[in-house]
Amino acid sequence: MSWTDERVELLKKMWGEGQSASQIAKELGGVTRNAVIGKVHRLGLSNRATTTTKSDAKAKAAPKQEAKAAPKTAAPPKEPEPKPVVTPARRQIIPAGQPLPPQPSANEISPEALAKVSEVEKKAKKISLLELTERTCKWPIGDPATDEFWFCGLPTQAGKPYCEAHVGVAFQPMSTRRDRRR
């Protein structure tokens, strides 16, 4: 299926009429709903407002009819103010190559474990992603957006993806996590 000028014009017309992507795909034939959505996006067609239901249309029409019956000296009925849309809070997205903000769990890691990790990282094999196996520590070190990024590569602890030092940092006892919540 190719997007001919006629098909694009029909798509624009139906989209402007408020028809759904599924309805448009069915009418055009040989194209999926997702293809219609993609084409609408590439054409830069505006997002449509949500369609009103029949009960919404009746509710809006009723005050207009009452206004005609009322004497001319009466003030027109006020429409209710639209309620502000509340969007849920989102976590900040940090682009690659940017430093991460301080992590709350870093403060709870024991100084002994951190010292052990820094000693182990000096002895690490510094392997790349392609060199990882099931027996090598998969602890990432550095910024993935730079050439100085590598994995620990030391032998893993049985049943864990990391070496002994990194297991001590990654897997904290349940009681420690429970105490943090309080």
Residue by residue, DSSP assigns 146-180 as STT-EE--SBPPTTSSS-HHHHHHHS--HHHHHHH
Our count of domains for the chain comes to 2
Q: Is 141 helix (H, G, I), strand (E, B) or coil?
A: strand
State which residues form the domain around 21.
Answer: 5-43
pLDDT string in tens for the chain (182-residue length): 688 999 999 999 999 898 999 999 999 988 999 999 999 888 888 776 555 555 555 555 555 555 555 555 666 677 777 777 666 666 666 666 666 655 555 456 677 777 777 788 888 888 888 998 999 999 898 888 888 888 999 999 888 899 888 888 887 766 655 555 55
Nearest-angstrom CA–CA distance, 82 and 86: 12
158 in a structural domain: yes
What residues are paired with 150 via a beta bridge? 141
118 in a structural domain: yes
64 in a structural domain: no
48 in a structural domain: no
Are the C-beta atoms of residues 10 and 20 closer than 8 Å to each other? no
| Token pair belonging to 68 | 């005609």
101 in a structural domain: no
Q: Which of 154, 153, 157 is nearest to 128 (CA)?
A: 153
* Residue with tokens 């993935």, as numbered in its chain: 144
Q: Which of 29, 31, 24 is nearest to 10 (CA)?
A: 24
Predicted TM-score (pTM) of this structure: 0.37
83 in a structural domain: no
| Token pair belonging to 155 | 């032998």
Are the C-beta atoms of residues 180 and 161 closer than 8 Å to each other? no
Type of residue numbered 159 = G
95 in a structural domain: no
Taking CA atoms, 126 is separated from 70, 152, 161, 167, in Å, by 83, 5, 16, 17
Nearest-angstrom CA–CA distance, 4 and 7: 5
What residues are paired with 141 via a beta bridge? 150
149 in a structural domain: yes
